Amino acid sequence: MKKYNFNAGPSVLPDVVLEAAAKAIIDFDGTGLSLLSISHRTPEFEAVLSEAQSLFRELLNIPDNYKIYFVGGGASTQFFHIPANFLGKKAGYIHTGVWTKKAIKEAKLFGEVDVLASSEDKNFTYIPKGFEIPADLDYLYICANNTIYGTEYKEDIDSPVPVIADMSSNILSRPIDVSKYAVIYGGAQKNLAPAGVSFVIVRDDMLGKVARELPSMVNVNTHVDNNSMFNTPPVFPIYVLRETLKWMKAEGGLEVIYRRNQEKAAKLYAEIDRNSLFRGTAATEDRSSMNICFVMSEGNEALAAEFMEFAKSRGMVGIKGHRLVGGFRASCYNACSVEAVDALVACMQEFEQMHK
Ligand SMILES: *Cc1c(COP(=O)(O)O)cnc(C)c1O
């Protein structure tokens, strides 16, 4: 049976990318050697790294005054890299869930943290709005897409202070104005690659901002100055990342991917709203186009386990909601097809018919 992969992360990757990755493990770009068994300093791998950077730049329209590098440790490592490098005295954080909770905890090790707004009062089902941004902050920190709760900032924030954004789960899902951000980072395993590599996009004027002495691996300058090659970078995830970016470009670029993401999200939210057995959990205006969260509607809660089994029997994979939200979550990342969403919608409609 065909499987439809809605996993939240690590998650679905395009078939052509998986095929290229499998091939490279056996014979890397015609070298006769495995990608896993060569030096990261060979010209062949340096070409991979360099193409990954230039494709990222091209697809996201990253201006020249930004550097981009790849590093291990996941997004959780960036939770402390960010304040270590950029928090001198005080930073502002917008608290929208588990990922900002962890980021705030780490930032407090380095300076004062002002939580400017929070959606904790409603279990993070919305994005706070209308908060004041004091001009004396070193930076404003947001999580652009809250993977667990299915909420997403729909606009790039206008801010008098540098904006730093965790875009782990919505990077390259839609066009953004990079110039409105000072730093954009994320783990690649949601929308771009297997686990093991993070991307960091940093504006030149942020480098060397804070005079704190740091271990080399924590210092952003180390990674920028050595172009992701201070130590052995995560070679395999970077290769897969490049393949994903090549795929994106071949599909027509970010605008095409974005329109497809809009179509998928519109279809699934429309069904959640139409189908009397289900309801969405996130505030309508803040609904994520990547992670679509829903539960059984009032009075139908008892059907949850049955729907899960039914969906599984129709090939749906990974739609169980995060334990903090419950219900269901369909993660519709770039490589999730319209066909997969159509299959999930059909499954929800069929389930409704069975319970008329
Ligand atoms: C998954 C996720 C993280 C954590 O990523 P790791 O690479 O596992 O550390 C952080 N932020 C967001 C938004 C995520 O979705």
The arithmetic mean of pLDDT across residues 331-338, rounded, is 98
In this structure, are 214 and 342 located in the same domain? no
Say whether both 156 and 59 belong to one domain.
Answer: yes
Is 178 part of a structural domain of the chain? Answer: yes
Residues 159 and 228 in one domain: yes
Determine which one of 90, 108, 129, 190 is catalytic. 190
What mean pLDDT comes out for the span 119-145? 97
> Does residue 265 sit in the same domain as residue 247?
no
Are the C-beta atoms of 93 and 103 separated by less than 8 Å?
A: yes
Is residue 24 one of the residues assigned to a domain?
Answer: yes
Dihedral (Cα; 63, 67, 71, 76), 10-degree rounding: -70
> How far, in Å, is the centroid of ligand 1 from the Cα of 129?
23
- Does residue 7 fall inside a structural domain? no
Please report the pLDDT score of residue 208 as a whole number: 84
Q: Is the CB of 190 under 6 A from ligand 1?
A: yes
| Residue with CA closest to ligand 1 atom 7 | 74
- Report whether residue 153 contacts ligand 1, using a CB cutoff of 6 Å: no
Q: 175 and 299 share a domain?
A: no
Q: Looking at ligand 1, which atom is closest to the CA of residue 147?
A: 15
Overall domain count for the chain: 2
148 and 20 in a single domain? The answer is: yes
pLDDT tens readout for residues 74-100: 999 999 999 999 999 999 999 999 999
Q: Which two tokens stand for residue 77?
A: 């490592």
* Residues 108, 233 within the same domain: yes
Ligand 1 pocket member 9 (CB < 6 A): yes
180 is catalytic: no
99 lines ligand 1 (CB under 6 A): yes
pLDDT above 90 for 314: yes
Same domain, 172 and 261: no
Res. 337: pLDDT tops 90: yes
Range of the domain at 197: 15-251
Length of the chain: 356
Q: Whose CA is nearest to atom 10 of ligand 1?
A: 75
Q: In this model, does residue 27 exceed pLDDT 90?
A: yes
Q: Is residue 3 part of a domain?
A: no
Do 214 and 262 reside in the same domain of the chain?
no
Say how far apart CA 98 and CA 100 lie, in whole Å.
6
Query: Is the pLDDT assigned to residue 176 strictly greater than 90?
Result: yes
Among 166, 247, 264, 286, which one carries the catalytic annotation? Answer: 166
Q: Would you place residue 247 in the very low, low, confident or very high pLDDT band (cuts 50, 70, 90)?
A: very high
pLDDT band at 160 (very low <50, low <70, confident <90, very high): very high
Asked whether residue 233 falls in the same domain as residue 166, the answer is yes
Task: Give the mean pLDDT of 152-173.
Answer: 97
* CA 164/CA 144 separation, integer angstroms: 10
166 C-beta closer than 6 A to ligand 1: yes
CATH number at residue 89: 3.40.640.10
Over residues 194-222, mean pLDDT? 95
Residues 186 and 295 grouped into a single domain: no
> Alpha helix locations (H) across the chain?
15-26, 43-60, 74-86, 98-107, 220-225, 235-251, 254-274, 304-313, 338-354
CA of 44 to the centre of ligand 1 (A): 30
| 356 has a pLDDT exceeding 90 | no
- With CA atoms as reference, report the closest residue to 237 among 39, 70, 55, 58: 70
Same domain, 120 and 157: yes
Q: Could you tell me the pTM of the whole model? A: 0.98
d(CA 182, CA 199): 14
Question: ∠ CA(251), CA(257), CA(260), 5° rounding?
Answer: 115
DSSP state for residue 23 in the 8-state scheme = H
CATH number, position 306: 3.90.1150.10
* Residue 99 annotated to the active site: yes
Residue 211 has pLDDT above 90, yes or no: no
Mean pLDDT of the chain: 97
Q: What share of the chain in percent tops pLDDT 90? A: 98
Domain assignment of residue 54, yes or no: yes
